[in-house]
Amino acid sequence: MITLYDLAGAEDDRRFSPYCWRAKMALKHKGLEFETVPWRFTEKDAIAFSGSKTVPVIRDGSTVVADSWNIAVYLDQAYPSRPGLMDGAAMVALTDFFQQWTIRSPQLALFKVILLDIFERIHEKDKAYFRESREKRFGMRLEEWAGDPKQALAAFRGALEPVRPVLVQNRFVSGHGPGYADYVLLGMFQWARCVSPTRLLEPDDPVYAWRERVLDLFDGYARAAKGYPVWA
């Protein structure tokens, strides 16, 4: 049984980290049993054994792996006979590009949309840490960085442009079936859905139909997460 340290909000069952969602979907894809341990931003001691200050962290027997990308690569290496997240060096490199883009483009744009929702949902003991660390990164107050919600939403939708033609041609970012790139993008949407009522996509958006397909995987595992519903 694999243990996953999973970021939680004030309520234990609201698990909103996009990176932990990547790890959970990757574990599901591999068909591996796992249990999650709720973790808060300020509980650095609880994961000190991993050498990391952030989650996801997994413990698999005597092996400890931190960082969502490292976890994906580890799972494919440690369990080669199970379905691959990324089959071969070309898919690893192209998927890495996809996640580098996701972090810098739509996920950053989405952060502006949901930042204040996240702040509201996190544990009281995490609030000072969250405000201080993020305001240092942004160089301004949270409220100021978030800016105008309508503009932020429009920027997020615009940032998704390059993925739309791909999802018109393919059922998944990874082609015929889901792969790690799909979990990268889904992680971003779960991050929002767990904390924010904002309707991110119009139903006629090809990304909307793709999201439905990924939410249906593994008996609706991601859809069942505590969060706001996906609006029709």
User: What are the CA-CA distances from residue 65 to residues 68, 160, 190 (Å)?
Assistant: 9, 30, 22
91 binds a second copy (CB under 8 A): yes
What element of type H or E holds 3?
A: strand 2-7
Out of 100, 108, 125, 143, the residue judged to bind a second copy by CB under 8 A: 100
CB of 185 to a second copy, least distance (A): 10
95 binds a second copy (CB under 8 A): yes
107 binds a second copy (CB under 8 A): no
Question: For a second copy, which stretch binds (CB under 8 A), given 10-18, 32-40, 90-98, 116-124?
Answer: 90-98
181 binds a second copy (CB under 8 A): yes
Question: For a second copy, which stretch binds (CB under 8 A), given 87-95, 108-116, 119-127, 194-202?
Answer: 87-95
Encoded tokens for 56: 């996801």
Question: Would the CA dihedral through 107, 108, 111, 113 be positive or negative?
Answer: negative
* Amino acid occupying residue 49: F
Q: Show Cβ contacts of residue 13 under 8 Å, excluding neighbours closer than 6 positions.
A: 226
Encoded tokens for 219: 């008996």
CB of 75 to a second copy, least distance (A): 17
83 binds a second copy (CB under 8 A): no
98 binds a second copy (CB under 8 A): yes
Q: Which of residues 138-177 bind a second copy (CB under 8 A)?
A: 161-163, 165-166, 169-170, 172-177
User: What are the CA-CA distances from residue 221 to residues 67, 74, 152, 218 (Å)?
Assistant: 22, 22, 29, 5
CB of 107 to a second copy, least distance (A): 11
Q: Residue 186 burial (CB < 10 Å; 0-12/13-18/19+)?
A: buried
CB of 90 to a second copy, least distance (A): 4
User: Which position has the token pair 């049993």?
Assistant: 33
Q: Which residues form the interface with a second copy (CB under 8 A)?
A: 87-98, 100-101, 103-105, 161-163, 165-166, 169-170, 172-177, 179, 181
